[in-house]
Every structure is written in C-alpha cells, then in structure tokens.
C-alpha cells in the first residue's frame, strides 16, 4: 500500500550508543540556546540548580538515520535542538503510518518519560541536533517536581488533541483537504502568522506526506500539482511558498485550519 522509501537500514541510535557521533566539541550548554526559555526547556532551566544531574549533552544525527527503533529499550530522553524528525509505525506488510513530525523544542518521543519501550520508530528527516538527557535522571526530575509534571501533562494533553485532529482528518476529510491542511499546519508551526504569503523550509518528501495522511505518493503528487497549477503554492528545493493563503484555506475546507 505504501512502501517505505528506501531509507537507511543502519541504525546508529544515539539512544543506544550515544557517543557514536556526537559533536560534543560544539556543545555550549543550555545557556546559549535560543530554546532555553521555551516550552519544556524553561522548566528544565528553572529546576537546574536543584537538579544538576539533568544536564543534557548534544548529539548530531544525519538525515534519514534512525533515532529510535520500535521495541528497543530507550536509554535516553531527547529534545530536538535543530532539524526535524518523524515518528512512525509499520505494519508487517510494510505499510507505513507517520504519527507526527518533531521540530525544535519538541521531545523526540514524550512516551519515554513514562514508558521504556514503544511501538513506533523515530527517524531524522533532516540533519538533527539533539539534547540528550539521562533517562532515569530526567524521569526522576519530572516525576518529583510538581511544576514539571504540570508542564509535561499539558504537553501530553496537547499531543492527544493533535492526534484527535489527525483522526478527524483521516476519517472524514478528502485528500485535498488533508493535504491543504497539512501544509497550512506546517506553515503555522514554522512561525507563520496566517497573514499574507509565507515561505518556509519544507524538507518533507511526498512519500512522507502520503504516509502521514493515509494516501499514496502518486496521489499526493497529483494534488500538489493541482495546487501549484492553481497558484496556491510554490514548492521546490526544500522550500514551500504559500502564495494564496485564502485559496489554500478554501481547499482545506473553509473554516478552521
């Protein structure tokens, strides 16, 4: 149904051999990080004094490399500092379903705060820089710190809401609506205000879109070609330009993106 694109079979998971390709020399700690005061990082920042053992170190991952493989033991918790990842599952017959896309500031997989293994895998979409935390130490911190727990709970609830929005997309929207909504959603996550045109880094292949939205790559191609011909968007060399936001929103089903 949807053959995975031929992506690296080798796994040099940082969760398994974390020092394998770490550019630790470039590591400058949280103090100089622009994500320092955003999302969960701000919580970590606050708890830093009392919990020095949750200090992360950095690792680099090449595009397409696996960060985690389904059913492995997770040894670390990681936050994305730079780049994009995606989380997916594959059925035995090879059908792939992408569950989410990770961007800077996101946990690679929130599940590992509560679980030790998962049914999904995580792969780098672009070159990625990760902040690696000792799993035990961070689990301990989150579980014992009320503010951290509240923040994390909010994170998971938001994720759940996001998954439910996806369910509505998959269950009750046409391929055009799904694709238009996905593009708009990615634009929003990339900092788009929603006003006027917008250009942004879009390293996502049609096969990824297909596997995210329950379609085939061929069909995604057709729809995107149509959007392009209609002048809604321009797409090329990793850059997506929304040229007619209104029309794209119409294609997305009018109301709420």
If one asks whether residue 222 binds DNA (CB under 7 A), the answer comes out as yes
If one asks whether residue 243 binds DNA (CB under 7 A), the answer comes out as no
Cβ atoms of 21 and 59 within 8 Å: the answer is yes
Bridge partners, 88 (sequence order): 98, 121
Of 34 and 160, nearer to its own copies (C-beta) is 160
Cβ 39 to DNA shortest distance, Å: 29
Of 55 and 159, nearer to its own copies (C-beta) is 159
Using CB under 7 A as the binding rule, the residues of this chain from 154 to 193 that contact DNA are 174-176
Cβ 159 to its own copies shortest distance, Å: 6
Bridge partners, 89 (sequence order): 97
Using CB under 8 A as the binding rule, the residues of this chain from 91 to 150 that contact its own copies are 91-92, 95-97, 99, 110-111, 114-115, 119-120, 143-144, 146, 149-150
Which one among 19, 161, 231, 239 touches its own copies, defined by CB under 8 A? 161
Site string for DNA, 94-113 (x = CB under 7 A): --------------------
* CA dihedral for 226, 230, 233, 234, sign (positive or negative): positive
Cβ 145 to its own copies shortest distance, Å: 10
Cβ 219 to DNA shortest distance, Å: 3
Of 40 and 182, nearer to DNA (C-beta) is 182
Of 55 and 176, nearer to DNA (C-beta) is 176
Using CA atoms, how far apart are residues 79 and 112, in angstroms rounded to an integer? Answer: 12
If one asks whether residue 207 binds DNA (CB under 7 A), the answer comes out as yes
Candidate ranges 27-35, 77-85, 139-147, 211-219; the one touching DNA (CB under 7 A): 211-219
DSSP string, the chain: --PPP--------TTTSTTTT--GGG--TGGG-TTTTSHHHHHHHHTTTT-GGG--EEEEE-TT-EEE-TTSPP-EEEEEEES-EEEEEE-TTS-EEEEEEE-TTSBS-GGGGT-S--S-EEEESS-EEEEEEEHHHHHHHHHH-HHHHHHHHHHHHHHHHHHHHHHHHHHH--HHHHHHHHHHHHHHHTT--SSS-EEEE----HHHHHHHHT--HHHHHHHHHHHHHTTSEEEETTEEEES-HHHHHHHTTSS--
- Where on the chain is the footprint of DNA (CB under 7 A)? 1-2, 5-6, 174-176, 205-207, 214-219, 221-222, 224-225, 228, 236-238
Q: What is the contact surface with its own copies in residues (CB under 8 A)?
A: 1-2, 89, 91-92, 95-97, 99, 110-111, 114-115, 119-120, 143-144, 146, 149-150, 152-154, 156-157, 159-161, 163-164, 166-168, 170-173, 211-214, 253-255
């Amino acid at each position: 149904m949807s053959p995975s694109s031929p992506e690296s079979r080798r796994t040099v998971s940082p969760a398994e051999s974390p020092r394998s390709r770490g550019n630790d020399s470039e590591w400058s700690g949280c103090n100089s990080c622009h994500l320092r005061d955003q999302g969960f990082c701000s919580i970590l920042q606050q708890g830093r004094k009392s919990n020095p053992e949750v200090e992360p170190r950095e690792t680099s991952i090449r595009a397409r490399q696996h960060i985690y493989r389904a059913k492995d033991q997770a040894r670390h918790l990681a936050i994305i500092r730079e780049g994009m990842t995606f989380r997916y599952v594959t059925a035995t017959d090879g059908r792939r379903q992408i569950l989410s896309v990770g961007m800077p500031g996101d946990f690679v997989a929130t599940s590992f705060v509560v679980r030790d293994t998962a049914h999904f895998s995580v792969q780098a979409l672009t070159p990625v820089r990760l902040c690696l935390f000792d799993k035990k130490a961070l689990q301990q911190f989150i579980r014992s710190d009320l503010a951290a727990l509240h923040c994390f709970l909010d994170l998971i609830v938001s994720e759940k809401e996001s998954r439910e929005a996806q369910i509505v997309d998959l269950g009750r929207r046409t391929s055009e609506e799904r694709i238009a909504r996905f593009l708009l959603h990615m634009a929003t996550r990339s900092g788009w205000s929603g006003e006027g045109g917008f250009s942004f880094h879009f390293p996502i292949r049609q096969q990824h879109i297909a596997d995210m939205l329950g379609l085939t790559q061929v069909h995604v191609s057709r729809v995107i070609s149509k959007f392009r011909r209609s002048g809604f968007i321009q797409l090329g060399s990793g850059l997506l330009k929304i040229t007619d936001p209104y029309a794209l929103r119409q294609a997305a089903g009018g109301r709420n993106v």
